[in-house]
Structure 1
């Protein structure tokens, strides 16, 4: 019998000073059995960085035809296709053909190798923007992951300040991959 996803709840007070986006969000996140807390946290942060009307989590790892998040227009067009991790160039080409904009929030071991092996192919895809989180910062912030989370997220100058209800604060930087 296959393992089921574990459900997490995140109540987020968001203040994105870079985009002038402010709001309260109640997210329900399904943690796939093969997914790490680190990946789930990147999905939550990607949501915060892209917060907008009609932005939703998809079936993610459970579907090869969908990104981790997307924002669709009311007419069904995909405005933003948002990937987490180190997607293949073929996947990004497919996303570019279906969406107006493609964002990748990269992280994890082997990130520099993935980037080195794919930089020219990704650079040829004008709709694709790749950003990354630092591994140490992300791993530290995973200490704040709980089944129910009350988070305050402030974003300014591509830095995220993540505070938990327990009083823990984590700082994470988001960089363009060209900065590696």
Structure 2
């Protein structure tokens, strides 16, 4: 018998002063059995950083189609934003860059991300619509304290810094942009 996904319900209030975006979102996130809490946290942070009324999660790891895990589609069906997580393969990113106007990759994994970036940096420079950020491992580990099946979170973004909090604690993250214009 196959393992089922774990469902997380998130009330996420976003105040993104960098983009002048303010909104409340009710998210239902399915955590695939092979997905860690760390990856789930990265998915929520990526959603907050790119939030819009059209941004939506796809089937992600459970999908057999070649689609983004998080994307924004225009009313005409074009992919305006394609978002990936982790240390994506250059071939996969090439496909994403060819299909979407903008592609964002949020890397995590500490030192392994540094090694991945050294190996991929020259190959990825040619993709003008690709932006890559590294999320610091130590602060992501602190953010794991926020993960619960039912969450009410506030996210404040200003000058590229992120404050993610619940009623009891706050985690500060400073993503490092590896590729793309600030």
113, 127, 130: which one pairs with 1:128?
A: 130
The residue aligned with 2:19 is 19
Counterparts of 1:56-67 in structure 2, within 5 Å, are 56-63=56-63, 65-67=66-68
How far apart, CA to CA, are the structure 1 residues paired with 2:9 and 2:176?
27
Where structure 2 has 5 or more consecutive residues not aligned to the other structure, the ranges are none
Alignment of 1:1-180 (within 5 A): 1-63=1-63, 65-109=66-110, 110-165=112-167, 167-177=168-178
Q: Structure 1, unaligned stretches of length 5 or more?
A: none
Residue 52 of structure 1, CA deviation: 1.0
Normalised by the size of structure 2, how large is the TM-score? 0.95
- What's the offset of the Cα at 1:63? 2.0
1:169 Cα deviation after fit: 0.7
Aligned residues: 178
SS in 1 for 2:174: strand
Q: Give the distance between the partners of 2:165 and 2:104, measured in 1 at CA.
A: 25
TM-score norm. by structure 1 comes to 0.96
User: Once the 2 structures are TM-superposed, how far is the Cα of residue 62 of structure 1 from its aligned partner?
Assistant: 1.3
For 1:10 and 1:132, how far apart are their aligned partners in 2?
Answer: 24
SS class of match (2:175): strand
1: CA distance between counterparts of 2:176 and 2:25? 24
> What is the deviation of 1:66?
1.5
RMSD (Å), alpha carbons:
1.2
Q: Any idea what the Cα deviations from partners look like across 1:50-88, whole Å, max 9, x if unmatched?
A: 001210001111125111100000111000000011110
**Structure 1 residues 4-48: Cα deviation after superposition (integer angstroms, max 9, x where no partner):** 110001101110011010011110000000000110111001000
Which runs of at least 4 in structure 1 moved beyond 3 Å after TM superposition?
A: none
